Chains A and B, each alone.
Chain A
Amino acid sequence: EAQVTQNPRYLITVTGKKLTVTCSQNMNHEYMSWYRQDPGLGLRQIYYSMNVEVTDKGDVPEGYKVSRKEKRNFPLILESPSPNQTSLYFCASSSLAGGRYNEQFFGPGTRLTVL
């Protein structure tokens, strides 16, 4: 089954404790992206990647890191989480066939709480 998976689905942590949220897709998509969703602010893009070893900042990259060492994986790293990073996080992927974004597929979401 074609899908985007994220782990963990739920996480409660404390300020300053480094964490990683994993994202994996099995559709051989070139493009992958991370979003956060907050009440009243909608979905905002954190980072995206056009292919292996190619990443760039989205609208709200501060406090986050990403890497793209393999085509299927795009982990999101919070080196020193703070309470303002409490949010619902989504990973997404799409193909870049024809040099343009095609349909995006989203993972199930990770609900993060930073105390």
Chain B
Amino acid sequence: GIQVEQSPPDLILQEGANSTLRCNFSDSVNNLQWFHQNPWGQLINLFYIPSGTKQNGRLSATTVATERYSLLYISSSQTTDSGVYFCAVVNSGLDGYQKVTFGTGTKLQVIP
């Protein structure tokens, strides 16, 4: 099956710093999402981004489907950005069904 790897696995930032999180996938995908899991465990939708670039406030994301990666940019980080960031991809399996696979996650800690 498809492999979805995220990097870095762990990241510590000083408040106000910028960062880039990466999601690599091993096969073509039909769509891709980025999520933030906050310290209380809730999964929050950040971007639905099968291709191209989107921005939402201090966050932006770019997916280059032909090169099999997506990037999540966090600018001017805040302590509330702490948590785990996941990408999730959907691709067509051998049986034709579309399968959802989550990446390994990036654990971000923003310190004041």
| A-to-B contact residues, CB < 8 Å | 33, 35, 42-45, 48, 56, 88, 90, 100-106, 108-109, 111
Give the nearest-CB partner of A45 in chain B: B100
Size class of B's contact patch? 20 to 34
Cα–Cα distance between A45 and B30 once the two chains are bound (Å): 18
Cα–Cα distance between A42 and B90 once the two chains are bound (Å): 16
B30 close to A42 (CB less than 8 A)? no
- Which 4 pairs between the two chains have the least Cβ-Cβ distance? A103-B48, A106-B43, A43-B102, A101-B90
Cα–Cα distance between A103 and B100 once the two chains are bound (Å): 11
Which residues of chain B are within 8 angstroms of A104 by Cβ–Cβ distance?
A: 33, 45, 88, 100
Most buried by A among B31, B42, B98, B100: B100
A103 close to B33 (CB less than 8 A)? yes
Using known A-B contacts A43-B86, A43-B102, A45-B100, determine if residue A100 contacts B42 with beta carbons closer than 8 Å. Answer: no
Give the nearest-CB partner of B104 in chain A: A42
A39, chain B: closest CB distance, angstroms: 11
| B-to-A contact residues, CB < 8 Å | 30-31, 33, 35, 41-43, 45, 48, 86, 88, 90, 97-100, 102-105
Most buried by A among B31, B43, B104: B43
A101 close to B43 (CB less than 8 A)? no
A109 close to B102 (CB less than 8 A)? no
Cα–Cα distance between A43 and B100 once the two chains are bound (Å): 10
A105 close to B42 (CB less than 8 A)? no
Give the nearest-CB partner of B88 in chain A: A104
Cα–Cα distance between A103 and B102 once the two chains are bound (Å): 14
Which residues of chain A are within 8 angstroms of B43 by Cβ–Cβ distance?
A: 90, 106, 109
B103 close to A100 (CB less than 8 A)? no
A18, chain B: closest CB distance, angstroms: 25
Q: Choose from B35, B98, B102 the contact partner of A101 (Cβ within 8 Å).
A: B98
Cα–Cα distance between A109 and B31 once the two chains are bound (Å): 23
